[in-house]
Amino acid sequence: MVDVKKLLEDARRAAANGGTMDWTADALQVDGVNFGKVTVDGPEDTKDFIRAAQAILERRDSLVAARLQLEAAGPLVAPAAPEESVPRLAEEIQTHLGDLERRKLNPDTITESRHSLRIFLALTGDIPVRDIKASHARTFLDAVRWWPERATVRPQYRGMSVLEIIEVGKRERVPVSPHTYNKHQSRLGVFLNGLVNQDLLNKNPLKAIKPEIDTSTDLDTGRAFTPEELNAMFESTRFQEWATSPHRWWGPMIGLYTGARVSEVAQLYIDDVREVDGVWGLFFWKNARGQKIKNKTSIRFVPLAQPLLDAGFLDFVEDIRQTGHPRLFPHLPAGTKKDGSPNGKGYGRQLSRQFGAYVKTIGVEKGTGFHSFRHTMSTVLAEQGIPEREIALITGHAITSQVPTLARHYIHIADTATLLRRVEVLTVFPSHFELPRYLSKQFDAALNISASLHP
């Protein structure tokens, strides 16, 4: 084995004395660099060898020195990765609302969520979402208790900021209803749970706060119409002067004898009026454009009570069929936003307002309107001893927890096993008056004005 260091020292000494050191070596290797066979002959070869070997050794020495320097400085620390941008509250609220729209939720639900989260943003500020704490949720819940009713549309609050409106509400000392308070808390909870599911927030801070107000034992403020109110409502002269369109005429009558919601009545199509095993009735379901249904138990087939048949309802259906319009009440709009898209209010909004104004003229207090037909049907049938399960088959109320088998009746909503019983149930609904009789073609003039009809 060649001693490279000794060989290099001898070559330097010979060169310094003006002499040469001639030699030959096979497989000469200097610090990992293999030179192969090397022959040095004369002063120039000696100098070339010295320069080459010196460069290689110096490179090795510098690497060793650098390593020793790093070791003396301590453990190696990798450079920090660039910090990811942290989503902020305003951005995530918009993302959440976009998700609700993609899920095609009721536009009212999206509007209400936007309202609650707008208040939360104003109170919290546009902070990184990972910094949301229970204290922010508490501040929000304390504030929404004093949000004035319909403050977003009432003129006296126009131009005010969210914080200014809340301060006015606190001064007026009129708290929101427990139901509204609970809805605010629920909407915020849905948003925060979404952040947790995306790993943008460690946990939902609402979990550290006591649950929403318990309204399970609150009295239902809705009431049934009295016999005197019904008599006044359908008094022939008064009713005919008001009921100048199909929905005004038939809407209240259907509401009375089905207990259906105003939205369910207003969205009826001709095709929803059908005969099943010799029984004419109405399908309340989601079967056509613009129709909505509250839940599965709301899907039902309700036989037409005899007073409706006697009042000429099927004659009216045939008259509408001949017009070529698919809906029973084409004067009712579904409701649209400025851009033409549905606003979620549904066909029942206008009927509800018109009927509410009408019953005020007979002395019915504000807040009692079309929904009272639903109370009337349920109350009267209960007073006649009809079991809740059978009432639910008419009204579509959800009592599955009390009657576990009830849900099966809605799998086949025109199940003939219960159909005749539904007819019997409606016969015990007392009628203290005779409904005004429909005259064939009586709405032709109104139906011929195409500009007033809605799809």
Model confidence pLDDT, tens digit, residues 307-316? 999 999 999 9
pLDDT range class, residue 335, cuts 50, 70, 90: low
Give pLDDT, residue 410.
Answer: 32
Residue 77 has pLDDT above 80, yes or no: no
pLDDT range class, residue 298, cuts 50, 70, 90: confident
Q: What is the mean pLDDT of residues 91-104?
A: 92
Higher pLDDT, 119 or 178: 119
Residue 282 has pLDDT above 90, yes or no: yes
Higher pLDDT, 443 or 411: 443
Q: What is the mean pLDDT of residues 334-351?
A: 68
Please report how many Cα atoms fall inside a 13 Å half-sphere around the Cα of residue 193, on the Cβ side.
Answer: 7
Give pLDDT, residue 409.
Answer: 34
User: Does residue 369 contact residue 359 with C-beta atoms inside 8 Å?
Assistant: yes
pLDDT range class, residue 414, cuts 50, 70, 90: low
Q: What is the mean pLDDT of residues 411-433?
A: 74
Burial 314-349, CB ≥16 within 10 A → b, else e: ebbbebbeeeebebbbbbbbbbeeeeeeebbbbbbb
Instruction: Give the highest mean pLDDT range of 186-200, 216-230, 440-454.
Output: 186-200
Residue 246 has pLDDT above 90, yes or no: yes
Pick among 1.10.443, 3.90.320, 3.40.720, 1.25.40: CATH of 227-452: 1.10.443
Give pLDDT, residue 25.
Answer: 64
Higher pLDDT, 257 or 406: 257
pLDDT range class, residue 126, cuts 50, 70, 90: very high
Give pLDDT, residue 59.
Answer: 61
Q: What is the mean pLDDT of residues 232-258?
A: 95
Q: What's the whole-number average pLDDT of the chain?
A: 81
Give pLDDT, residue 387.
Answer: 85
Higher pLDDT, 46 or 286: 286
174-178, 257-261, 297-301, 341-345, range with the lowest pLDDT: 341-345
Q: What is the mean pLDDT of residues 390-405?
A: 63
Residue 29 has pLDDT above 70, yes or no: no
Those residues whose C-beta lies under 8 Å from the C-beta of residue 429, and which sit 6 or more positions away, are: 257, 305, 377, 380, 381, 384
Give pLDDT, residue 384.
Answer: 85
Sketch the domain layout of the chain as residue ranges.
4-71, 89-208, 227-452
Give pLDDT, residue 358.
Answer: 96
What distance in Å separates the CA atoms of residue 348 and residue 355, rounded to the nearest whole number? Answer: 10
pTM for this entry = 0.59
User: Does residue 355 contact residue 369 with C-beta atoms inside 8 Å?
Assistant: yes
